Amino acid sequence: MESKKKVLKGFGLFMAAMLIMTFVSRTVYVNQMPQVRWNYPAAASIRNTLTVDGTVEAVNSQAITGMEGLLVKRVCVAAGEQIEEGTVLYEVDMDDLQAKLGQLEAEEEVWQEQLQAEKKAAATEITRAQEDYDTTVAELDRKIAEQTALLEDALEDLDLHLFRIPEEDSSDEIWIAWADERTRLDRVIADKKRSIEEAEFEKEKLLKEANRNIEDAQSAKREVDGAYSVSFSGIGQIQERESKIKTWRQLVVDEGKVVSQQEGTILEVMLQSGVRMGADAVMRYADAQSSLVFRTTISQDQKAKVHTGDSVRLSFPGSSEEVNETIDSIVQENGSYTVTIWLEPGVAQGRTEGVMEVVSTSEVYDFVVSKQALHNDGSTNYIYILEEKEGILGTEMSVRSLTVRLLDQNEDKAAIMDDLLQSDMKIVVESDRELKNGNSVKVE
């Protein structure tokens, strides 16, 4: 009987323990249960606000080339700065400038001396050519005159010989001798004529050659007189050097300060103090009359929310200026889209960066939920539906995942679609813990 009491007591303790553990287990279960908030999907439109950074660019920007070879002492302007005519853009190192200028001037002096020598040599050459020409002409004229005189003598001899024609009854020997003489005289005349022709031909030829020499000498002299060196490749260097000297001398006068030639806006400065300038542009600016455009790049997804002709609001960092403009063009470039907005005259002067804000309202979608209700596992979008579940513990609220198609979204809302989706479905919009399909939940 005693042992039975013990067994009964043990049984009672067991049942009591089970009762306590029932409460403990239930408490743990409830405490581990995610607490959710739900809402019905609503028909609504999605209001999208797209904000992207962009740049303000001049349509016709101009480059300011550097003083090649000079050392920059100080850069006096920055990008976005408005400049007037005469505004100091940058200063060059005066010591360096003086040294470089002196070097150039020395080179110029050497070159001038060389030029004078070349001029002198050219003049001498002309004189020589002229003398050769004169000598040649005189010699040939003398030869021609000499041959002409001989020809005239031969002709007189022939006339005289023809006059001395033998009598008809003269002996054959006389006739033969006369004929021989005539033949000889004809031959002499022909020889002289040929000599004269040859001399004239020779003269003409030599005169051409002498004239060419004179022309060459004169050409060489003209080149020297025109300060052109004998080599064509040197022309550019000479001109550049002379231009540099001229510019640098003015720069010395200006105490090394390079100033703006007209008013405008500095768009870009590619110059740094202590750097020796090259031949490239050191600054880019837009003059006051130049038009400005705002340009920005948007992605394929963003493109769906922006259309040509849409009104946009432009603001500019560091400024309270805000303007309403219209998108003028959207052009696809390498997978992205470039949005261009032509700015009204006077807008965004002195600005290089801007922010574009586009607000668009979509069509009315049947099912719009809070963005928090939408989940994504990397490839698919899904939501959790709250529904009653009959289980061992009775009727509980549980969540079931439903794959949906995302139609549109903004920061707060998402428009979704699925054949199984209904307007009376309770959609979980918030949970204090990560949910899994089939989880029992507490409803807030």
Partner 1 sequence: MIHTMEISEIKQKLNIGKRKKQKSSPLAVGLCFMAAFLICLPLWMIPTGALMDDMELHQILTPVLNGSDGYAVWHPVPFYPTVEHFYRLLIGSPAFYKLFWNSVGMTAAILAGQIVIGLPSAWAFAAFRFRGREVLFGLYVVLMLLPFQVMLLPQYLILQKLDLYATPGAVILPAVFSTFPVFIMYRGFTQIEQEILEAARLDGAGEMQIFLRIGLPLGQTGIRAAMVLSFLECWNLVEQPMAFLEEQKDWPLSLYLPQLDISQAGFAFAVSVIVLVPALFVFALGQDALEEGITYVGTKK
Binding site for partner 1 (CB under 8 A): 4, 7-8, 10-11, 14-15, 18, 21-22, 24-26, 28-29, 390-395
C-alpha distances (whole Å) from 329 to each of 251, 298, 359, 361, 401 are: 45, 12, 17, 20, 43
CA distance 422 to 404: 12
CB of 404 to partner 1, least distance (A): 30
CB of 438 to partner 1, least distance (A): 14
Does residue 333 contact residue 299 with C-beta atoms inside 8 Å? no
Cβ proximity to partner 1: between 14 and 40 the closer is 14
Cβ proximity to partner 1: between 226 and 438 the closer is 438
CA distance 428 to 410: 18
Give the type of residue at 55.
T
Cβ proximity to partner 1: between 392 and 420 the closer is 392
Nearest to 384 by CA among 395, 393, 367, 372: 372
Cβ proximity to partner 1: between 28 and 121 the closer is 28
What is the rounded radius of gyration, in angstroms, for the C-alpha atoms of the chain?
A: 54
Cβ proximity to partner 1: between 28 and 162 the closer is 28
CA distance 258 to 72: 10
Cβ proximity to partner 1: between 159 and 388 the closer is 388
Cβ proximity to partner 1: between 24 and 177 the closer is 24
Cβ proximity to partner 1: between 22 and 65 the closer is 22
CB of 34 to partner 1, least distance (A): 16
CB of 400 to partner 1, least distance (A): 18
CB of 3 to partner 1, least distance (A): 8
CA distance 295 to 300: 16
Task: Look at the chain and count its residues.
Answer: 444
Give the type of residue at 381.
N
Cβ proximity to partner 1: between 28 and 230 the closer is 28
CA distance 57 to 97: 34
CB of 1 to partner 1, least distance (A): 11
CA distance 112 to 238: 10
CA distance 64 to 72: 14
CB of 420 to partner 1, least distance (A): 25
CA distance 214 to 234: 25
C-alpha distances (whole Å) from 200 to each of 129, 155, 193, 380 are: 20, 20, 11, 106
CB of 439 to partner 1, least distance (A): 14
Does residue 133 contact residue 214 with C-beta atoms inside 8 Å? yes
Nearest to 357 by CA among 336, 339, 344: 339
CA distance 407 to 43: 13
CB of 388 to partner 1, least distance (A): 12
CA distance 139 to 108: 46
CB of 12 to partner 1, least distance (A): 9
Cβ proximity to partner 1: between 13 and 78 the closer is 13
CA distance 284 to 272: 14
What DSSP assignment string belongs to 28-65? HHHHHSPEEEEE--EEEEEEEEEEEEEEEEETT-EEEE
Give the type of residue at 345.
P
